[in-house]
Amino acid sequence: MNVLITGARVVTPTDTVGPRRGRAMELLYVMDEADVLVREGRIVAVEPASSGLALSRDVPKGATVIEAQGRVLMPGFVDCHTHACWAGSRLDEWQMKLQGATYQQIMASGGGIMSTVRATREATREELAASLTTRLRAMLRHGTTTVEVKSGYGLSWEAESKMLGAIADASRADGVPHVTPTALLGHVIDPEVPGFVAATCGRTLHEVATHHRRLDGGPLAVDAYCEKGSWSVEDCVRLFEAAKARGMPIRVHTDQFNALGMVQEAIQLGAVSCDHLEASGPAEFEALGKSETMAVILPACGFHLDGRYANGRALIDAGAALAMATNCNPGSAPTVSMAMIVALAVRHCGLRVPEAIHAATANAAAVLGLRDRGSIAPGKRADMMLLRHRDERELAYEFGGNSVDMVIANGRVVGA
């Protein structure tokens, strides 16, 4: 599909190699009254409207023309951390929370993640794929053109494989973002399985590594949740060393409630990212700032759970490469809106609007190892969103709605 967008206010991270850090996260490239030409899924030109691109021979005959005067054109969101494949409901637990129960108390009573595990195990692959497809389509309508989706509610190798199969099925549906799957093998400890950690690091990891790949053919990343009452630092290191031996990248949920030293261990292991970081302090900020491991903050958890937010300002000032995501899941972040995450990060995590845009686009793409998206530049995959606003700051100023007028995903106009 060939598309010509005319007269837009183009707002984008600069086209550089690798994630942005420090002051670079404040620098957006802005071109008022710009034309953008898309051919066969790729951006081929970004030029001032006065250049005459719209009238040139470079525009293929029959190209779809979108008149975007007075509106912001941005890269599509990259949601680099979600648990969007699940079955069941957590509404009863949410009611418990409203009545004063803590997240840990809910988990200890048999709720929390284990209630979703039970429902997900009972669901068929087809049911999981159908519910995930519905969520993915909602994400696309809200401007997300690439999304990471984790397994993790199966725990056994059979159920994890079923989840990863459902994620693959949903990724092939019409009207969904590009999907990058992740194997969250270390989510919680199944109390009914003796030797669960050993089994996960052994057969479960073997089966997943053997039978499941990314859509581009690469190995899946392996993830774990390091926290008191869940996977310990030692458990995570054991899993990650086994995953690395198979050539699988590693990511970790850490420091959501307690800083246990996992950030430093993850950096030593060469982790792609440390995610959550609400309980992190100066030692963790400094370590991440000096490393290649990226920091991923998840502000929806603070909004939905307990009002605790990661200190994004301190992470950026320490030099960390910062990204953010919805963490879409039924227990702590029931949202599909990256715009809401931008609004929360600016209000509660200390980010400035340009930094939040970087964290939600180019840096989030870097977490997933996707260098061909996250900015608007020739050669990039044509993943963009057209806002109904003429000022990109509205994206953070507003909350609770959908500012997206139109989405272009892989060069195809899919609407909003």
Calculate mean pLDDT across residues 260-289.
Answer: 99
Band of pLDDT at residue 245, cut at 50, 70 and 90? very high
Count of CB atoms within 10 A of residue 340's CB? Answer: 21
Give the mean pLDDT of the chain. 95
| The pLDDT of residue 379 is above 60 | yes
pTM of the predicted protein model: 0.96
| Alpha-carbon span 146 to 135, nearest angstrom | 13
| Alpha carbon of residue 81 to chain centroid | 3
Q: What is the mean pLDDT of residues 330-347?
A: 97
Q: Of the candidates 207, 335, 220, 327, which has an alpha carbon nearest to the alpha carbon of residue 272?
A: 220
Instruction: Check residue 239 and give its pLDDT.
Output: 99
Please say whether the beta carbons of 350 and 318 come within 8 A: no
Task: Work out the burial of residue 402: count CB atoms within 10 Å of its CB; fewer than 13 is exposed, 13-18 middle, 19 or more buried.
Answer: middle
pLDDT at 78: 99
pLDDT in tens, 192-232: 899 999 999 999 999 999 999 998 889 999 999 999 989 99
Check: CB of residue 155 under 8 Å from CB of residue 197.
no
- All structural domains of the chain: 3-75+375-413 (2.30.40.10), 77-367 (3.20.20.140)
Query: How high is the pLDDT of residue 184?
Result: 99
Q: How far is CA 319 from CA 63, 191, 274, in A?
A: 43, 40, 15
Please compute the mean of the pLDDT values over residues 138-144 and round it to a whole number.
98
pLDDT band at 113 (very low <50, low <70, confident <90, very high): confident
pLDDT of 21-38, one tens digit each?
999 999 999 999 999 999
Q: What is the pLDDT of residue 77?
A: 99
pLDDT at residue 416 above 60? no
- Identify the pLDDT of residue 59: 85
- pLDDT over 90 at 102, yes or no: no
Question: Which residues does residue 296 pair with via DSSP β-bridges, in sequence order?
Answer: 275, 323
Averaged over 37-56, what is the pLDDT?
91
What pLDDT digit, counting tens, does each position of 357-378 carry?
Answer: 999 999 999 999 999 999 999 9
- pLDDT grade, residue 398 (50/70/90)? very high
Q: Is the pLDDT of residue 57 over 80?
A: no
Q: Does 222 or 50 have the greater pLDDT score? A: 222
Residue 249 has pLDDT above 90, yes or no: yes
Tell me how far apart the alpha carbons of residues 370 and 372 are, in angstroms, rounded to a whole number: 6
pLDDT tier for residue 269 given thresholds of 50, 70 and 90: very high
Query: Does pLDDT of 95 surpass 80?
Result: yes
